[in-house]
Amino acid sequence: MRELYLKTERGVDMNTKICSFCEKPAHRVNLMIEAEHADICDECVFLCMAIVINKLKEEWPNIKKLMEQVEQENTTDEGDK
Ligand SMILES: [Zn+2]
């Protein structure tokens, strides 16, 4: 199924940018970030951000404190309005 999808998508236009991670074509995503040798879609960026944040939380306890501070500040800001 996946191979068929890729073949048909790529077969239509070889110049279509395809996410290097999930292989979705540019017109199927909201945003494609393009580099010289690789492209990444917005969905994969969010996924990667989640992975990085979770990894940092595990390996660097300070980031958790920092994030809690930011969350508290945001809550305080909303309270003022
Ligand atoms: Zn992607």
pLDDT of 26-75, one tens digit each? 999 999 999 999 999 999 999 999 998 888 877 777 777 777 888 999 88
40 and 59 in contact (C-beta within 8 Å)?
no
pLDDT (0 to 100) of residue 4: 46
- Residues 55, 64 contacting (CB under 8 angstroms): no
C-alpha 74 to ligand 1 mean position (Å): 30
Q: Could you tell me the distance, in angstroms and rounded to a whole number, from the CA of residue 52 to the centre of ligand 1?
A: 16
Residue of higher predicted confidence among 57 and 25:
25
Euclidean distance between CA atoms 40 and 49, whole angstroms? 12
49 CA distance to ligand 1 middle (Å): 13
Nearest to 25 by CA among 9, 36, 12: 9
